[in-house]
Amino acid sequence: MKIQIVTDSASDITLQELKQWQVKLIPMPLFCGNDTWPDDKTKPMDVFWDLLIGGSDVKTSQPSPDAFAQVFEQAKKAGEAVICVLISSKLSGTYQGAVLARSMVGYENIYIVDAKGATAAAAEKLLVKRACELRDAGELSAPQIAADLEQFRSRIRLFACLDTLGYIARGGRLPKSVAAIGNAIKLKPIVCFSAEGEIHVLKKVLGGKNAMREMTELAMSHSVCADYPVIP
């Protein structure tokens, strides 16, 4: 049975990779000020960053279940299996929307993989890439690939340093007064994603140089698989 790989735009997969890897994209809606457009990767990221830096409120929303249902219906008619790799269910309702769409379509050969701790763009893309590699190797069935991805995601470790607290405050997750103080003293939180996809603060470091040293030590404290090296 032919296997179709599907992902959402949180994986940050590019148009070139979509074509090269033969992956279908479910775009998330982007709300940028008064404008709304699907994050279908046709707009350069520079547009997004310019809006963000310029002070526009930029937010994403989850795709509708209908967006998934259309893709699932196509696979059902074609007799294809589907492996859907999606952003953590702890951060978005995208996963739940896909599960609802699967029940709407009534097709058993749909396997939905919650990225969980591998939820950031680079890590989620890594899951998509592995799914494509296993599909192209032709040795595993769709349920076997889905099971492999669920095991593989537990091996991914993601650390990030927040250079500014401004965007967290703009998103309503931190009081603006606290963010202003943190930025003034050059506070650089280092965060990680738990195995369940929740964000945790590991350390709060003063200064960019200290933060980079801590990040380096964190990376070096974990062994790296030669087949899947560190992604900056």
Burial 186-201 (b: 16+ CB within 10 A, else e): ebbbbebbeeebebee
pLDDT tens for each residue of 123-145: 889 899 999 999 999 999 999 99
pLDDT above 60 (res 21): yes
pLDDT above 80 (res 33): no
For residue 100, the model assigns a pLDDT of: 96
